[in-house]
A and B are shown apart, each in its own frame.
Chain A
Amino acid sequence: MADKRATLDELIGELRSGMTIGIGGWGSRRKPMAAVRAILRSDLEDLTIVSYGGPDVGLLCAAGKVARIVFGFVTLDSIPTDPHFRTARQAGSLAATEVDEGMFYLGLLAASQRIPFLPTRAGLGSDVLRVNPELRTVRSPYDDGEELVAMPALRLDAAIVHVNRADASGSGQILGPDPFFDELFLGAADRRLMTTEAVVPTEELVGDGPLQTRCISRLLTDAVVETPHGAHFTACVPDYGRDEAFQQAYVTAAGDPEAWAAFAARYLEVDEAGYQAAVAEGAA
């Protein structure tokens, strides 16, 4: 059986400038932040980011990595909006594809199923159709004749998700209450990249939670990277909750260029081990 274990550098080496990259999780929950930080340190640019957005989007915007954002929301959950995302949008420097969050789901599902679109009522009558003039409607071929939105497949060059546990062959386990749409991000992508709190023997996955927590099959993954605390500062329950103090510090720093430069020097212009050390030091 293939051993899919890789390093963070190897994982980022799969990515190229200009790619469309899906990022799993939801808001400020179970985001593959170690991978996001690695992208910040890379020379990747001109990315299209597809995300149920949280601080992943904000950090990538702050670093000038994002050419286009595909989103239904960007939120830090306990703080309504992300400051860097706001700044980028208000500067007009960020192209955007804004869709209903259910349309977003159907776009990933269509891509996973290799079909061009899925029909939905969501979006009808709203400005989602005005601000995305490329969106089309489709008429039901049956007697009802309903005209629905044809949500196009959100095909991804790569997807990155973060899970609680995984084994070396790329089966993933999500121990928190919501698997979000990670399975569909992976299904929609050409390169399927998974980070995890811990790579463990398959037998240990069995001990950690019921069968339905082992919801990412190895059919959906190409590489698995162990990144302990890799979702920090987003929530990764039950391993750890959101680091609210750190998130607040992130937001506060974003409000002032000098403070942000200091934050970036301390936390972002260092490797992942340096980041985790700085976080541990700050919390002590």
Chain B
Amino acid sequence: MTAAGTGSPTRADVCVIACAEVFRGAGEVMASAFGTAPTLGARLARRTFEPDLVLTDGDAALMAGAPPLGTDPSDLVLESHMPYRRVFDVVWSGRRSLIMMASQIDRYGNQNISAIGNWSRPTAQLVGVRGAPGNTVNHPTSYWVPNHSPRSFVAAVDVVSGVGYDRAAAAGAAATRFHHIGYVISNLGVFDFDTPDHVMRVRSLHPGVAIDDVVAATGFDLVVPDVIEETRLPTDEEATLIAELDPRGLRTREVPP
């Protein structure tokens, strides 16, 4: 069921919906999102079921509304000054919900964006841990992995940047107090940690994805429920909004049809 003129939903559209769902119930918090599908998801949520979400302009401000990708900065209405120093106040206050990307993620939700291989002499130096350690122990964090493979879904990440459930628990009460890894969204499905020992579980698969393909593309044992849900499709209203928010179709460059 799709809106007239938008065609049938693509895999990328489904990923946008899955990202939007991360913010359901978040209320008046700063939504930060990295990657195209998460950025669109946050804006879609702001336009529909989470109207109080606070979005950033990607620079040093909070912006009113949820404009389309590629909007000229001079056309944005900026409602508040949010330089990096103040971002940390928001992070540490917990009034934030975040979708980060992950070069590697493991079955407990540990994430790596620092380095591949041995940290002392990596085979591939990445960007660095950035704010991932602080983010994950201060406010809800989810992940977006647009290239689900055994190289990205690994048994153990090489450098724990974002903190997963096992490492938070081992670090003690101060680490677990505000720690919550919500979802991992990939180009194949949605995963969560709603299991007794907080290991990764299949929450839903995107339409057209077979569980065997996901298992083969994952470098550890996923918890697979008896009945596997399908990630929901956009409603007509959502499909229209996604097209409006992404007029140049950047989402299908990130997740090809």
User: B138 contacts A90, CB within 8 Å?
Assistant: no
User: B120 contacts A92, CB within 8 Å?
Assistant: yes
Residue with the highest number of chain A CB atoms closer than 10 Å, among B83, B133, B159, B178? B133
Residues of A within 8 A of B88 (CB): 102, 105
User: B126 contacts A126, CB within 8 Å?
Assistant: no
In the bound complex, CA of A127 to CA of B128 (Å): 12
Partner-binding segment picked from A38-46, A175-183, A268-276: A175-183
Residues of A within 8 A of B132 (CB): 100, 126
Partner-binding segment picked from A70-78, A164-172, A197-205, A251-259: A70-78
Chain A 140-168: CB-based contact to B (< 8 A → 1; otherwise 0): 00000011100000000000000000000
Partner-binding segment picked from A14-22, A79-87, A224-232: A79-87
User: B129 contacts A125, CB within 8 Å?
Assistant: no
Given A125-B163, A127-B119: A102 and B134 interface contact (C-beta under 8 Å): yes
B160 — nearest CB in chain A belongs to which residue? A127
Name 8 extra pairs, CB < 8 A, besides A101-B129, A130-B160, A146-B177: A53-B128, A90-B124, A101-B131, A102-B91, A120-B134, A121-B92, A180-B83, A181-B85
Give the residue of B59, B84, B163 whose beta carbon is less than 8 angstroms from that of A126.
Answer: B163
Partner-binding segment picked from B4-12, B168-176, B223-231, B235-243: B168-176
> A181 to nearest B CB, angstroms?
6
User: A177 contacts B121, CB within 8 Å?
Assistant: no
Q: Does A261 sit at the interface, judged by CB under 8 A? A: no
Q: Does B115 sit at the interface, judged by CB under 8 A? A: yes
How many residues of A sit at the interface, in one of the four size bands?
A: 35 or more
In the bound complex, CA of A243 to CA of B235 (Å): 42
Give the residue of B81, B127, B129, B168 whose beta carbon is less than 8 angstroms from that of A128.
Answer: B129
Residues of B within 8 A of A90 (CB): 121-125
User: B125 contacts A85, CB within 8 Å?
Assistant: yes
User: A125 contacts B137, CB within 8 Å?
Assistant: yes
User: B167 contacts A89, CB within 8 Å?
Assistant: no
Q: Does B204 sit at the interface, judged by CB under 8 A? A: no
Q: Does A190 sit at the interface, judged by CB under 8 A? A: no
A-B contact pairs, 7 of them (CB 8 A): A75-B128, A92-B120, A125-B163, A125-B168, A126-B163, A131-B159, A177-B81
Top-5 shortest CB links A-B? A122-B134, A73-B128, A92-B121, A125-B171, A126-B133
Q: Does B29 sit at the interface, judged by CB under 8 A? A: no
Give the residues from 171 to 224 in chain A that come closer than 8 angstroms, CB to CB, to chain B.
177-181
Q: Which residues of A contact B (CB under 8 A)?
A: 26, 53, 71-75, 80-81, 85-86, 89-92, 98-103, 105, 120-128, 130-131, 146-148, 177-181
Q: Does B60 sit at the interface, judged by CB under 8 A? A: yes
User: B59 contacts A178, CB within 8 Å?
Assistant: yes
User: A124 contacts B126, CB within 8 Å?
Assistant: no
Residues of B within 8 A of A180 (CB): 83-85
Give the residue of B119, B122, B128 whose beta carbon is less than 8 angstroms from that of A74.
Answer: B128
In the bound complex, CA of A116 to CA of B127 (Å): 28
In the bound complex, CA of A117 to CA of B91 (Å): 20
Residue with the highest number of chain B CB atoms closer than 10 Å, among A26, A53, A100, A125? A125
Q: Does B149 sit at the interface, judged by CB under 8 A? A: no
User: A72 contacts B91, CB within 8 Å?
Assistant: no
User: A179 contacts B83, CB within 8 Å?
Assistant: yes
User: A89 contacts B163, CB within 8 Å?
Assistant: no
Residues of B within 8 A of A99 (CB): 129
User: A26 contacts B84, CB within 8 Å?
Assistant: yes
Give the residues from 155 to 207 in chain B that come closer than 8 angstroms, CB to CB, to chain A.
159-163, 167-168, 170-175, 177-179
Give the residue of B61, B125, B127 whose beta carbon is less than 8 angstroms from that of A177.
Answer: B61
Give the residue of A81, A85, A100, A178 whose beta carbon is less than 8 angstroms from that of B131.
Answer: A100
User: B126 contacts A81, CB within 8 Å?
Assistant: yes
Residues of B within 8 A of A75 (CB): 127-128
User: B84 contacts A177, CB within 8 Å?
Assistant: no
In the bound complex, CA of A181 to CA of B83 (Å): 10
Residues of A within 8 A of B218 (CB): none
User: B174 contacts A124, CB within 8 Å?
Assistant: yes
B123 — nearest CB in chain A belongs to which residue? A90
Residues of A within 8 A of B151 (CB): none
> A230 to nearest B CB, angstroms?
21
> A56 to nearest B CB, angstroms?
14
User: B178 contacts A121, CB within 8 Å?
Assistant: yes
User: B59 contacts A122, CB within 8 Å?
Assistant: no
> A152 to nearest B CB, angstroms?
16
A212 — nearest CB in chain B belongs to which residue? B81
A124 — nearest CB in chain B belongs to which residue? B175
> B18 to nearest A CB, angstroms?
24
Residues of A within 8 A of B91 (CB): 102
Q: Does B114 sit at the interface, judged by CB under 8 A? A: yes
Give the residue of A80, A81, A121 whose beta carbon is less than 8 angstroms from that of B134.
Answer: A121
